[in-house]
A and B are shown apart, each in its own frame.
Chain A
Amino acid sequence: MSALTSLTLKAALKGLADKSFSSVELTRAHVEAVEAARPLNAFVLETPEKALEMAAAADRRLAAGEAGPLEGAPLGIKDLFCTEGVRTTACSDILGNFVPTYESTVTSQLWRDGAVMLGKLNLDQFAMGSSNETSAFGPVINPWRKAGGNQQLTPGGSSGGSAASVAADLCLGATATDTGGSIRQPAAFTGTVGIKPTYGRCSRWGVVAFASSLDQAGPIAKTVEDAAILLKSMSGHDPKDSTSLDIAVPDYPSFVGKSVKGLKIGIPKEYRVDNMPPEIEALWQKGIAWLKEAGCEIVEVSLPHTKYALPAYYIVAPAEASSNLARYDGMRFGLRVEGANLTETYEKTRAAGFGAEVKRRILIGTYVLSHGYYDAYYVKALKVRRRIADDFDQAFQKVDALLTPTAPSAAFGLGENADDPVAMYLNDIFTVTVNLAGLPGMSIPAGVDVNGLPLGLQLIGRALDEGTLFSLGGAIEKAADFKAKPAKWW
C-alpha cells in the first residue's frame, strides 16, 4: 500500500476523518514499509503489535466522533524518549535493556492526541554525534544516494533514524531532539522538515538527558504544515520540567500559508564560511530571492561571535553531559560490570557501557569542570554564550527572522569524518548558535546538489516566535517546490 505511506500527515488525517481508509489500514501499510526498510537500520525496535492495537483504538474513537488532532496517525519515536513498557536505550549499551515504567511528557501528549507508535528510532548514542555512527546499533543508512552511485551516506545525526524514516515514508512524522543541530542537520541531509522550538516549549521530562540547558525536542516531518501539526501536540507547559515555559501554545498550523509580506529577514554575513560548496551559497541566494518575491525585506546583519559558538558549545555541552551521565553507575538501572570494589565496579561499568564519543565528551566535561580549569574554560564559555545570545538580541531589534544554510555540506559518506572529532563537530556550525541562545530554528528542504542530494535552508526566529518561522517556512517550501524523493533501493 505505497499510496498510503506516501501521504503527508495532513492528508492522512483528512483521509482518516473522511473514512477513506482506517487507521489500521494506514498503520499496517507503515508497519510493512518499516519491515521492508530494515537495510536502512532506522528502527532499533519495531512495535507492530502495539501499533495495530493503538490503531484499532484510534479507529474506535474516530467512529465515535472522539478523534484527537493526531487520531490514527502512525509516528516513529526517537529512542531517547522514554516509552512506558517499551525498551528505551538512547542507543547505548549502558541502557541496553532499560524498560521505562513511565512515559515522557512529549510522547504522552502525542498518544493523548491519538497518534500511533510504530517503534523506536536509531540515533547517535546519547544524541552525541552528527552522523549516527556513534549508535550502539550501528549507523542509520540515508535513503538518499548520490545520483548513479551506491555509496552509503549518513542521514546526519543525532536524529538520523527520525530523518531517514520520514524521508523513506516509513512513518508520517517522527519525534527528534536537538542539542546542537540534531533535528535540523539530519532534516537537511534527508530532504525533510525539522524544527527545534524555543528552549522550554517542549518538556524535557522523560527524555534521556544529554546537555540540559541545550536539549530541546521537536518534530521531523514531510512538510512545514506537518511539522506545525506535530509541534502543537508536543509543546506545552509541564510542571515536571522546571524549565518548561508556562505560556500558551499558539495554533501553529494556522501560521502556514500566512502572508510574509513586509517581514524583515536578516542575512548574517558570518555564516559564509571557508570551503562551503558553491551550491550551498547559491541555494542561500535563491532563498533570499524567494523571500524577496514573497514581499520580505532583506537586511544584512552581523552576528560577530558566530565562530566562537562551536568551541563554546564543546565546553558547555560536555560539561553538562559529564554531570548528567554520572547517573549511569550500574547501581539502580542499566548495565553493571562487577569489579573488586565499588570504585572498580563504577569504572568497569562505565567503560563497558559508554561508546568512544560519549567517553570522549565525559572526559572533556570532567576536565573543564575540574579544579583549576573551571573558570578558565567553563565560566569563560558561559560568558561567550552570553555574547552569542546578545548578538541575536541585537539582530532581532532590526529583523523578524534570519535565513542561513542549515549545514555546510550535503550528506557525506559513512566513515568519512570518523577519524577527526573536530571535523565532525563542524557539521553543526550553523545550527549550534541557536541552541546556545535558546531560540527556535527550522530546516526546510530547498534544493539538491550536483549529486542530486538534498540541501536545507535554516530559519532562525525570536524566542517563542515559532509562528513566524512556520509562515516563512511555508513560503520557502512553496517557492522551492521541493518534490524530490530518494529512489527506493532497500
Chain B
Amino acid sequence: MAIDAATVRKVARLARIAEPEEKLESLAQELSGIMAWIEQLAEVDTDGVEPMTSAVAVALPLREDVVTEGGDAAKVLSNAPKSIGGFFVVPKVVE
C-alpha cells in the first residue's frame, strides 16, 4: 500500500518526530518502497497460525512484591536535562 505525504505527517505526529513539510514527499516515497517490499508477506498462508510474540516459550517469572532498590534520587537525576531540588523539571503540561 502506498503511503502518501498526509500519512507520513500523521505517523510522524504519532511518533512525536518533527518532520519538515518539504521532506514529507520523499519520506512517503521511501516508506512506500519499503512497505511494497514487505507486502510479499501476504503470499504466506497463516490461517490458524498462532502469532509468535516471544522467541522462547517460557512463562514470565514472578518475584516477591518487595522493594529491591531505590532511595537514590541523585543517581536517577544525574542525567536529567533539567532538575531542581531533587525533581525533574519538565515543560508545563496543564494550563
For the complex formed, measure the closest distance between the CB of B39 and the CB atoms of chain A, giving whole angstroms. Answer: 8
B40 touches A311 (CB 8 A): yes
List, in ascending order, chain A residues with CB within 8 A of B55's CB.
Answer: 199-200, 213-214, 243, 435-438
Q: Mark A316-349, 1 if CB is under 8 A from B, else 0.
A: 0000001000100111111110110111111110
Asked if B17 and A362 make an inter-chain contact with CB atoms under 8 angstroms apart, the answer reads yes
Residue of A nearest to B54 (CB): A213
Known: A379-B51, A387-B49. A101 touches B78 (CB 8 A): yes
Cα separation A114 to B51 with both chains bound (whole Å): 43
Are the CB atoms of A370 and B56 closer together than 8 Å? no
Interface presence of B71 (CB below 8 A): no
- Could you tell me the dominant secondary structure of chain A's interface residues? helix
Docked-complex contact A363 and B90, CB < 8 angstroms: no
Interface size on B, residues (CB 8 A): 52
Closest to A342 in B: B91
Please name all residues of chain A whose beta carbon is closer than 8 Å to the beta carbon of B33 when the two chains form the complex. 421-422
* Set A199, A315, A366, A421: member contacting B14, Cβ < 8 A: A366
Q: Which residues of A contact B44 (CB under 8 A)?
A: 305, 308, 383-384, 387
In the complex, what residues of B have CB within 8 A of residue A332's CB? 76, 79-80, 88
- State how many angstroms separate the Cβ of A96 from the closest Cβ of chain B: 11
Q: Which residues of B contact A334 (CB under 8 A)?
A: 79, 81
Does A289 touch B at the CB level, under 8 Å? no
Q: A311-B40, A312-B41, A360-B34 are in contact. List 10 more A-B contacts (CB 8 A).
A: A101-B72, A243-B58, A350-B18, A363-B17, A366-B15, A382-B52, A383-B44, A383-B52, A421-B30, A421-B34
Q: List 13 A-B contacts (CB under 8 A).
A: A98-B79, A308-B40, A351-B18, A360-B31, A362-B15, A363-B8, A363-B17, A364-B34, A367-B11, A367-B31, A380-B46, A382-B52, A387-B46
Q: Which positions in A face B, CB cutoff 8 Å?
A: 97-99, 101, 198-200, 213-214, 239, 242-243, 245-246, 305, 307-308, 311-312, 314-315, 322, 326, 329-336, 338-339, 341-348, 350-351, 354, 359-360, 362-364, 366-367, 370, 377, 379-387, 389, 421-422, 435-438, 463
